[in-house]
């Protein structure tokens, strides 16, 4: 089986060859934790969760690193992220690290809700200031960077003069870039407007600041990803991912920093996930065109007619290829909900099918498996994979209606293949089963409380628990083995 990945740097699909046979090093740019993540952010992280799960399913041992941007950093439109940190700390009357903690916890909760697996390493920018200072020093020593008024900038013209190609990822031409850039940041400090900050001098108002050889300041945003990816994955690693919008300047700058520091391109395969839109506009906090994950799940919003379970949202996202734009809408969610329940119903039916080794089946399982895996290995084509899952669903319904047959061996094979693809690879969850589990846990708590009430001779309370549950159709039965329940 050959895995093909669309490499944004090459501009085409390529056969994936890991640096170390059977192993993958993957770095994905994480969130800036100054406010809650919106549903658009979730889509990008979910796309890479699917890719991570797929790689593992295909047999690779993956080291997945996803950072947390927790330092007020500099972007090319000025000190935007620091401004946001400052604004938020004032607004919420919190310490910067309280903001960081609050929104990191929120981020993890949200991703957990959508069943994303945690990465193997989740490094923070503030935990790697020393590494960032060292990289900056190295770039100054090798002549790729210069100090100016307490800040340090990467010299883009020098980089190009040495035969390297700034703009290779975003396919931008340096002359054009120079012509189109307004020098908003570092005015008068930079040699050229395209030079980007590696280290920035902290103004008196700047809250997050560290000592450095150039005075008190803070690292540039692009540098943190170079520092952390190099530290945990090496100077050249297999896959680097992030949203499309990070291609330029963020990833372009990461390539420049990596090449300038180590003389080699830092990443073999650049992968970019496409945007989530709402009302056909990119979801973004700054324009106000966004929805928070909890608002969608709880139903507290004016956009969707009802609440949707996170597993349905996940299914909806995966019905689009990670490189395509996805427009979220009420209709799309309703259609996903319908498809999702049919898929889950088919899986349930499969458990009650009696195999038949006598009759010939009209379903070619091997052929179906090949096609499904071809879709998965064709640049992680989840919509085509899902379409094949629904071919199997159709077959399962035909089995139920006794219009089709399946041998015992194939039945086991179909079950295990479907379960692996649906739950391990797509990361979907069986809502009904989960709900049953939750109900059971809740009833066990109530039974325990009733037992305690009886022990302390509070029969009024223990009877109330029994009667109220009975009124809801749940009957408690006391036996030698303890208390059990039945639901009518
Ligand atoms: P940020 O916290 O702003 O750095 O964003 C975190 C991630 O979300 C980045 O990889 C962005 O590319 C991605 N992102 C931001 N907006 C959207 C969107 N509307 N759809 C999909 N991904 C997005
Ligand atoms: Zn990054």
pLDDT of 15-28, one tens digit each?
999 999 999 999 99
Predicted local confidence at residue 175, as pLDDT: 75
Give residue-wise pLDDT tens across range 411-428: 999 999 999 999 999 999
Question: Is there a single domain that holds both residue 473 and residue 405?
Answer: no
Beta strand residue intervals within 43-144, DSSP E: 61-66
Q: Give the ligand at the shortest distance from the Cα of 44.
A: 1
Using DSSP, state whether 388 is helix, strand or coil. helix
Question: Is there a single domain that holds both residue 420 and residue 437?
Answer: no
Predicted local confidence at residue 184, as pLDDT: 57
Closest residue CA from atom 7 of ligand 1: 41
Beta strands 23-28; 61-66: pairing state:
parallel
In the numeric block, the tokens 């400052």 are attached to: 86
Choice from 37, 119, 245 to test ligand 1 binding pocket (greatest atom count within 8 A of CB): 245
Give residue-wise pLDDT tens across range 96-150: 888 899 999 999 999 999 999 999 999 999 999 999 999 999 999 999 999 999 9
Q: Which residues are in the CB-under-5-Å shell of ion ligand 2? A: 29, 225
Question: Is there a single domain that holds both residue 205 and residue 74?
Answer: yes
Predicted local confidence at residue 176, as pLDDT: 75
Q: What is the mean pLDDT of residues 314-342?
A: 98
Residue 208 has pLDDT above 90, yes or no: no
CATH code of 258's domain: 3.40.50.620
Predicted local confidence at residue 186, as pLDDT: 62
Question: Is there a single domain that holds both residue 324 and residue 456?
Answer: no
CATH code of 387's domain: 1.10.730
Using DSSP, state whether 337 is helix, strand or coil. helix
Question: Is there a single domain that holds both residue 78 and residue 24?
Answer: yes
Give residue-wise pLDDT tens across range 435-457: 777 788 899 999 999 999 999 99
Residue 185 has pLDDT above 90, yes or no: no
Question: Is there a single domain that holds both residue 267 and residue 119?
Answer: yes
Q: Is 247 in the pocket of ligand 1 (CB under 6 A)?
A: no
Number of domains in the chain: 3
pTM: 0.88
Range of the domain at 203: 4-273
Token couple for 180 = 């189109």
Token couple for 76 = 């090319």
Predicted local confidence at residue 204, as pLDDT: 84
Q: In terms of Cα–Cα distance, which of 68, 66, 69 is closest to 117?
A: 66
Question: Is there a single domain that holds both residue 130 and residue 192?
Answer: yes
Give residue-wise pLDDT tens across range 39-96: 999 999 999 999 999 999 999 999 999 999 998 654 333 445 556 666 777 777 778 8
């Amino acid at each position: 089986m050959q895995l093909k990945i669309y490499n944004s740097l090459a501009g085409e699909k390529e056969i994936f060859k890991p640096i170390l046979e059977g192993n993958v090093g993957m770095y994905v740019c994480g969130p800036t934790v100054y406010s809650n993540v919106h549903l658009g952010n979730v889509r990008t992280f979910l796309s890479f969760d699917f890719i991570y799960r797929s790689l593992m399913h295909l047999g690779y041992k993956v080291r997945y690193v996803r950072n947390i941007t927790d330092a007020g950093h500099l972007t090319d439109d000025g000190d935007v992220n620091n401004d946001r940190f400052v604004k938020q700390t004032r607004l919420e009357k919190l310490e910067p690290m309280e903001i960081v903690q609050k929104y990191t916890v929120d981020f993890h909760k949200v991703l957990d809700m959508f069943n994303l697996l945690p990465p193997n390493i989740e490094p923070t920018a503030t935990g790697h200031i020393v590494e960032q200072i060292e990289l900056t020093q190295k770039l100054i020593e090798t002549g790729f960077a210069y100090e100016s008024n307490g800040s340090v900038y990467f010299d883009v013209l020098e980089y190009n003069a040495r035969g390297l190609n700034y703009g290779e990822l975003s396919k931008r031409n340096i002359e054009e870039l120079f012509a189109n850039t307004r020098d908003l940041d570092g005015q008068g400090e930079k040699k050229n407007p395209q030079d980007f900050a590696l280290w920035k001098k902290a103004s008196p108002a700047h809250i997050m600041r560290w000592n450095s050889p150039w005075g008190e300041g803070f690292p540039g945003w692009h540098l943190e990803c170079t520092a952390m990816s190099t530290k945990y994955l090496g100077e050249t690693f297999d896959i680097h991912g992030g949203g499309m919008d990070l291609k330029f300047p963020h990833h372009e700058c990461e390539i420049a920093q990596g090449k300038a520091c180590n003389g080699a391109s830092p990443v073999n395969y650049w992968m970019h996930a496409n945007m989530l839109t709402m009302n056909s506009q990119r979801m973004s906090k700054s324009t106000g065109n966004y929805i928070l994950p909890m608002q969608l799940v709880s139903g507290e919003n004016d956009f969707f007619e009802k609440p949707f379970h996170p597993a349905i949202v996940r299914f909806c996202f995966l019905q689009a290829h990670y490189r395509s734009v996805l427009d979220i809408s009420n209709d799309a969610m309703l259609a996903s909900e319908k498809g999702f329940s049919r898929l889950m119903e088919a899986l349930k039916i499969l458990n009650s099918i009696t195999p038949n080794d006598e009759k010939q089946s009209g379903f070619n399982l091997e052929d179906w498996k090949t096609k499904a895996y071809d879709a998965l290995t064709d640049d992680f084509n989840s919509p085509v994979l899902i379409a094949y899952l629904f071919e199997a669903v159709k077959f399962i319904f035909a089995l139920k209606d006794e219009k089709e047959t399946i041998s015992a061996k194939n039945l086991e094979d179909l079950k295990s293949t479907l379960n692996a693809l649906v739950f391990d690879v797509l990361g979907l969850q069986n809502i009904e089963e989960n709900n049953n589990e939750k109900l059971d846990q809740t009833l066990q708590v109530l039974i325990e409380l009733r037992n305690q009430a009886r022990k302390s001779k509070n029969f009024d309370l223990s009877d109330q628990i029994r009667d109220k549950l009975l009124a809801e159709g749940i009957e408690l039965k006391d036996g030698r083995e303890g208390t059990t329940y039945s639901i009518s």
